[in-house]
Chain A
Amino acid sequence: MYSDKVMDHFANPRNVGTIPDADGVGQVGNPVCGDMMTFYIKVKDDRLADVKFQTFGCGAAIAVSSMVSEMAKGKTVDQALAITNESVAEELGGLPKNKMHCSNLGADALHEAIRNYRDRQAGRAPAGSASAGGHDHDDAGSCPYCDSALETEDRSVCKACRIELEECPACGGITKKGDATCLHCGRPLPGKA
């Protein structure tokens, strides 16, 4: 299920912990979707002199956090901002499809910590504060084909199996776009506009 690299970072995570006098703290996630990450950064001469994290979540979430901390450490703030969730997943040798959304939030958490650092620098946030990123996880339902969780913000396509989806106006179920009838209630679907 997980690559060797993911398992290595899960079993031997780098940079676990907190930084009590951190220059920036960022959080993402919530227990509803199962994953929460907190990143702490120490900035010196515009570089991330130290990065630490804590994560509540699955193996992928822990491995992602570890990888992000390793990728970010020693980088300039701008370089760290260029790290994306996708590049982290790539660096880990890939993640299972259904973990891409929920667990792959490490870069977001790091970026929140940098945002908090900049807010503090600009006097917009007090020392000891933290920036929390949104990660809504209302029950967006799951793909009727591969059962992967769908994203709240965009249910028109399954990110895992790439099937185009639509909501059945009759029963509200998520069904395949372009089909003549709903997968769930069998009622005819309105044709493509």
Chain B
Amino acid sequence: MDRIYLDRIAATPVRPEVFEAMRPFLTDAFGNPQSLHAWGRRAQEAVEGARAETAALIGAESAEIYFTASGSEANNLAIKGLAAGQQARGRRLVVSAIEHTSVLNSVKALERSGFSAVLVPVDGQGRVDPAAVERELTGDTVLVSVMTANNEIGTIEPVAEIAAVCRARGILFHTDAVAAAGSLPLDVRALGVDALSLAGDQFYGPKGAAALYVRKGVRILPLVDGGIQEGGRRGGTENVAGIVGLGRAAALARTEMAARAAALVPLRDRLLDELPRRVEHVRVTGSRTDRLPHHASFCVEFVEGEGMLLFLDMKGFAASSGSACTSKSLKASHVLLAMGLDHATAQGSLIFSLIDGTEAAAVEALLEAFPPIVERLRAMSPLYTDFLMHRGS
């Protein structure tokens, strides 16, 4: 059976060029970048080269890039580190209701130590209104965080407008760009952001290598105290091979980004247009216009996400869902609920995210395979039976 991978938001494959760039640093070139000798110098040069490539991906300077082990760590460092750095000025945070849990739970942790926080709601497409953010900017607000694009619904947020609103009041603005970096052209100066998180495993780099951009001059306190690595902002011996992989993946993304998007957008649009045509009571979640180029997400009514994922997997398709049953904590997606969807509809969450090289034939195969799966699950769904009965009467 040919398997078709449509779960890019979970992981991307490591590009062969990326792996080749990493290989020496897993074997012969094992030096510690902080060592004075030749081994150390070679590792340090590689890390600094990767820092320059990562900075170039987002229009930053090398000195503004701090490597971390994951997007979640970058978000933790941004929220906790920036808030701690500003707490003499105020202790209020403003974030959107659809942030990644690494942002939301960092905020919760700060609330337990005396900060207060406000969640800004989103509209039915998951879009944050810059004016709604502006209304929350009180005198003691020190940090605002709104993601660049949402991983569950693909919606791209008006980050530049929100950043402008914050800058006008001298309030720091962070954006979680983990879902967007490497897929969308991002320039930290044009966006006007003070901090930005990204992760290489979202654009063909290895897992375990991510970064936080912090604008020069912005005060941030470390989460990991240690040596002088990462300018004292993050102690611990550098993950040299991972960082090199991230840098190479960033360089590839920078040159190939436009071509990659041009290839994936028609496939994405085919899914967004055609799936609701082939199956009744399927709605697209997120924005149609401001959307990640690789992202197609839906809610399929009267069925639950995990059942669809299991049947899709049996047919060779890998996808994901934000349903309660697919999460270990058995909670429906906070993103879909924040968009105003009811619990039953949110349970039918289904996300197809495309990697480069996905062929049109794969999308057509999915469009063929999907309707019978829904039909099968609806035939055993009491919600669907209920719906049919009430439609009849």
Chain A contacts to B: CB under 8 angstroms: 7, 10-11, 13, 16-18, 27, 30-38, 53-62, 98, 101-103, 139, 142, 146-149, 171, 173, 184-186
Nearest neighbor of B389 in chain A, beta-carbon distance:
A18
- C-alpha spacing A27/B380, complex, angstroms: 14
- C-alpha spacing A54/B323, complex, angstroms: 19
Contact A16 B112 (CB under 8 A): no
Which listed residue, B109, B314, B326, B381, touches A56 by the CB 8 Å rule?
Answer: B381
Contacts of B307 on A, CB cut-off 8 Å? 10, 57-59, 62
21 A/B residue pairs, CB under 8 Å, sorted by A:
A31-B342, A31-B344, A31-B383, A32-B332, A34-B332, A34-B347, A56-B304, A57-B304, A57-B306, A57-B325, A58-B304, A58-B306, A59-B310, A61-B304, A62-B307, A98-B328, A142-B330, A147-B328, A148-B328, A148-B329, A184-B109
Q: A31-B343, A56-B303, A149-B330 are in contact. Are A103 and B325 (CB under 8 A)?
A: yes
User: Which parts of B282-312 form the interface with A (CB within 8 Å)?
Assistant: 302-304, 306-307, 310-311
B331 within 8 A of A: yes
B266 within 8 A of A: no
- C-alpha spacing A185/B113, complex, angstroms: 7
Mostly, the B contact residues are helix
- C-alpha spacing A32/B109, complex, angstroms: 26
Contacts of A7 on B, CB cut-off 8 Å? 310
Chain B contacts to A: CB under 8 angstroms: 109, 112-113, 302-304, 306-307, 310-311, 314, 323-326, 328-332, 342-344, 347, 379-385
Contacts of B329 on A, CB cut-off 8 Å? 98, 142, 147-149
Contacts of A59 on B, CB cut-off 8 Å? 306-307, 310
Contacts of A16 on B, CB cut-off 8 Å? 379-380
Contacts of B113 on A, CB cut-off 8 Å? 185-186
A163 to chain B, nearest CB (A): 15
Contact B343 A184 (CB under 8 A): no
Contact B331 A35 (CB under 8 A): no
- C-alpha spacing A13/B109, complex, angstroms: 44
Contact B330 A102 (CB under 8 A): yes
Contacts of A142 on B, CB cut-off 8 Å? 328-331
B390 to chain A, nearest CB (A): 15
Contacts of B302 on A, CB cut-off 8 Å? 56
Contacts of B325 on A, CB cut-off 8 Å? 34-35, 57-58, 60-61, 102-103
Interface centre among B314, B342, B381 (most CB of A within 10 A): B381
A116 to chain B, nearest CB (A): 15
Nearest neighbor of A171 in chain B, beta-carbon distance:
B112
